[in-house]
Chains A and B, each alone.
Chain A
C-alpha cells in the first residue's frame, strides 16, 4: 500500500493510495458536507453536495468516491463549488421538507441558501403512508438518497422489498405495485429506518409520540386501530 501526497485547500497531506478525497479531507479536519453518503452503504455519488474542484479537471468531482492521486491539488471551497452546493441545497429545499434533519438545515445555514429561491416550484408531496405496525413512510421528506433501497438490497439485508417508481423529478421509493409493506418481502428489520437521514422513515411509536400520544395511548391505539382498519376494509 503506497502512500501518496496531495494538497487540499493549500494543506499538504499524505494518505494511503485508494483513500477518497472525502476521507483525506476528514483526516485533516475538513468536513465536506454530504447527504447521500453513509459509512454503511455503497457510495453512489448522487447528491453531488460533496463535489470539489480538482485542478485540471473540467468539471467538479464527487469527493466521496474520487480517489486521491499523487500530486492532486484540490479545493473544497471556492466560488464554483459553493455555487453548486448552495444551488443543490436550494433546489432540494424547494422540493422536499428537510426540516427534520438538523444536519441538512445546518448546511442551508452554512451555505446561506435562500429558502425562497424558487417561487411556485413543484414540490414532491405525498401523504404519510401508514400501512404496517412498525414504521411510517413520509415521502414528502424523502431526499432520494438511495440508502434505504440499498440496505434493503445487497448492502445489508438482501430482502429487496423496495425500489423506485417513476423517473426524474417524480421518482419515489415504492414497493411492488405499491403494495402495503406487510404484503411485500419486507421483514421489518428497520435497517432502512436506521439509515434514513430525515424523518421520511420513522418508527411508528416515535411518530405517535411526536403527535402527543402517551405510551398507554400508543399501546391501545394499535390494537383498536387494527380492528378499525379491518372494519373499514371489510
Chain B
C-alpha cells in the first residue's frame, strides 16, 4: 500500500452532483481517489468518472505551451489543425499580446456586436465571472453565453417565467424523503449516478413510488412503479394530460393554488383539450398510465419531479418544462422538504456559470442586462462610467454561430467548450466556425473546435487550480489545487486577468475594472458584494462543507430547499400551453426518431474522457435499435450501419436492445468519428434558443465494416 505525500480534498469536475473527492498523491501522481463517507453530497460513493477519470490530466496530448497557428487563417477558409506541427510555440507574452491586439482591433473596427465568447460550465465560478467581466466591462458586449444554452436553457427560461428563479428547488438527496417522485427525460443512473443511487434507496429502503416518463427503458425502470414510454417531443400533452386528470378528479391543492399562484382559471380552460385520450393519441402512452401517474403524484404526501434533457432540449423545451411546473403548482408539491421542481444540471459548474452571468440576457445573479438599475450596480462594481454597459440583450451560442459573417460576429473566444461536437447540425456549425475572422481557444487539449483556432492558450485542469464550483443543488464547494500546473499552463482566472490588463492598456480606459486579485477568494468576494445569493459565501465558510445558495449573509446557513413562503416573482404563474410537435417528424425517407444523449463512461464532446482510460471501457459509438425494428430491417447486434438525416451521415455499430423503444434510435454524442450532432437539427426553442437535440428524423441502413473509422474499438460490456 502506498503512503500518500498528500491527500487533497476537492470537488469532482464531471457532473452536477458535485461529489467530494480526496486525491491521493505521491510524487505528484494521483494514484487513488476516495471520498469521505460522511459527505453530505455523495456519502462516499462515486462513479467511474470521478473515481478513475482524472487521468486525462497526464495525457501526452495535453497542450502546455501557448500556441499560434503557423499558417494564418482566413475567414471562409479556416482549417482544423490537430497536429502540433501546424502550430508555433510562443511565450505567454507573445500569445496574450497577439490576442489583445486582434480583439481590440476588431472591437474598434466593428463594435461590440462583432465579439463573442463561450464561457465554460466546467471552469470555476471565478474563471467564469472574470471572463464575462472582460467582455461586458471592456468590450461592452452581451454576446456572452455557455453550454447551458444546449442543455437546460428550456428549463431555466420556463422557471424564470413561472417562478422567477432558475435553479433546482430542493436538495437532491431529499429524494429519500419523497413518497412519490417523477423522473423524466433523465437517464439518471448514467448521467447523475449518485442521485440515481439515492433514488434507488428511496424506492428500495424508504418505500417511495417512482414514475419514469421517458422514451427509453432506462435502468431506473427496474425500480419504477410506472413507466410512461412516450414518443420523444410529446412532453406537453403527457404532462398536461396529467394536469387534466388532477383538475377533473378534484385532486388539486386548492389552498396552494389560491395562496401561491395566478392564472389558474385561464390555465384550466387551456387544459380542456388535453384529455388522457388525446395525450395517448399523440404520445403513444396508454391513457391509463397517464391517469394512474397523475393520481399517484397528486395524492402523494411529498411529491417531487426530477428532469433532464428530454424536457429541455426540444424546439418547445420551455413549454415542456412549464408543463412540469404546472403539476407542482396544482398539487403544492414545491416549497417543502422532499418535494420540488428539480432540473438536474449536467455540468459540474453549469449552475455556477449561470450564477456568474455567463448568459446573454443576465449579469451575474440573474440581473437582466436591459434593466438600468442592474446596469448601474455593475457599472459601480466595475469602475465603468455611468451608462457605459451595453443594455441590449446579447446573442446565445447558437445565434452567435449563425451570425458569423461580415457585419455580424467576427471573433469568438472559447473557454473550455467544444461547439464542434456539442452544437446541433455540425456541418452547418463547421461552416460558421470556418467563417470566423479570429478564434481563440483556452483549453487543455486541441479539440475539434480549438483545431480551428488562431491562438491556443493552455489552461490547467481542475486539479491544478483553486476556485469554487456550484453543483446542481446550489451547493458552492471548494476546488483545490492538488498538483503544480503542467508545463506552462496557467489557471484560467490568471490568464483572463493577464489578458484583461493588456486589453485595458490598449483601450486606454480611464479606470481599470480591477484585475489584481492575489487569490480566487477575492474574486468570489467581489461577486458576493453585488449579488445577494452569494453574499454570505466565503472560502472560510466553505472550507469543510459547501453552502447552498442563496446565502444571505455570513450567519446564514444556506438554503436546502427554496420557495417555502413565496416565489421570487411573488406568485407562481400558470402559462396556457399548446402542443407543438417537433420540427422534424419521421416520414418514409427518414422513418426513425433520433434521440441523443450520453453514456456513463464519457463526457460530452470527449475532450476529457477520450483522453482517459475511460475510453477503454467504452471506445466506440453505438446506435441503440429496438429488437422489433432490428428484425424488420434485418440488422443484428453489433452490425455496422449507416445512420443518416437530412443534414449528415455517420457509420457505427448497432446495439439491438430493449433499452430503446420501437421507432426511436439513440446515439451518444461523444465520438468525433461518428458524431451524433452531424445528424441533429438546429431548430431552436423560440424563447430559450435551445436546439432540438432530442428529436429529428433519420434512417438506418446496413453498412460495411470497412466504413468504420476505428473497427478495432469495440464495446463489450455487461452493464445495463
Contacts and interface: CB of A to CB of B under 8 A. Distances in A.
Interface in A205-223: 205-206, 209-210, 215-216, 218-219, 222-223
Interface in A67-105: 100-102
Contacts of A154: 204-205
Interface residues of B, number: 40
Contacts of A199: 1
B48 A190 contact: yes
B43 A40 contact: yes
Given A101-B1, A154-B204, A209-B2, A188 B37 contact: no
B33 A190 contact: yes
A226 interface: yes
A24 interface: no
B1 A188 contact: no
A179 interface: yes
Contacts of B719: 159, 184-187
Contact of A230 (B1, B31, B51, B712): B712
A interface residue count range (under 10 / 10 to 19 / 20 to 34 / 35 or more): 35 or more
B569 interface: no
B247 interface: no
B37 A209 contact: no
Given A184-B718, A206-B32, A190 B51 contact: yes
B65 to A, nearest CB: 18
A158 B613 contact: no
A219 B55 contact: yes
Contact of A206 (B31, B197, B204, B600): B31
Contact of A133 (B38, B616, B716, B720): B616
Interface in A52-78: none
A191 B718 contact: no
Contact of B51 (A158, A182, A189): A189
A206 B31 CA distance: 5
B223 to A, nearest CB: 8
B556 interface: no
B52 A190 contact: yes
B255 to A, nearest CB: 35
B108 interface: no
A172 B52 CA distance: 25
Given A157-B45, A203-B31, A134 B712 contact: no
A44 interface: no
Contacts of A194: 34-35, 44, 46, 51
A222 B204 contact: no
Nearest to B194: A189
Nearest to A186: B719
A216 B55 CA distance: 11
Contact of B37 (A40, A186, A205): A40
Majority SS at the chain B contact face: loop
Contacts of B26: 209
A193 interface: yes
B120 to A, nearest CB: 25
Contacts of A135: 52
Interface in A163-192: 179, 182-191
B47 A187 contact: yes
Contacts of A156: 43-45, 197
Interface string B704-719: 0000000010001111
Contact of B200 (A158, A186, A209): A158
B367 interface: no
B58 interface: yes
B5 to A, nearest CB: 12
Contacts of B60: 216, 219
Interface in A125-178: 132-135, 154, 156-159, 161
A110 interface: no
A39 interface: yes
B419 interface: no
A39 B37 contact: yes
B58 A191 contact: no
Contacts of B617: 132-134, 182, 188
Contacts of A230: 712
B1 A100 contact: yes
Given A40-B37, A189-B45, A215-B58, A210 B197 contact: no
Contacts of A191: 44-46
Contact of B197 (A40, A158, A216): A158
Give the one of A102, A183, A216, A219 with max B CB within 10 A: A219
B718 A205 contact: no
A228 to B, nearest CB: 12
Nearest to A206: B31
B701 interface: no
Nearest to B717: A182
Contact of B48 (A185, A189, A209, A227): A189
B377 interface: no
Contacts of A215: 29, 58
Nearest to B189: A187
A206 B33 CA distance: 10
Interface of B: 1-2, 26, 29-35, 37-38, 43-48, 51-52, 55, 58-60, 193, 197, 200, 204-205, 600-601, 613, 616-617, 712, 716-720
10 residue pairs, one from A and one from B, having the closest CB atoms: A190-B51, A188-B48, A206-B31, A133-B616, A100-B1, A183-B718, A133-B613, A40-B37, A158-B200, A134-B52
Given A187-B47, A190-B51, 15 more contacts: A39-B37, A39-B38, A134-B52, A135-B52, A183-B716, A188-B617, A189-B47, A190-B52, A199-B1, A203-B32, A205-B55, A206-B31, A215-B29, A219-B60, A222-B616
11 contacts: A39-B38, A40-B44, A182-B718, A188-B601, A189-B46, A189-B48, A191-B46, A194-B51, A205-B52, A216-B60, A219-B59
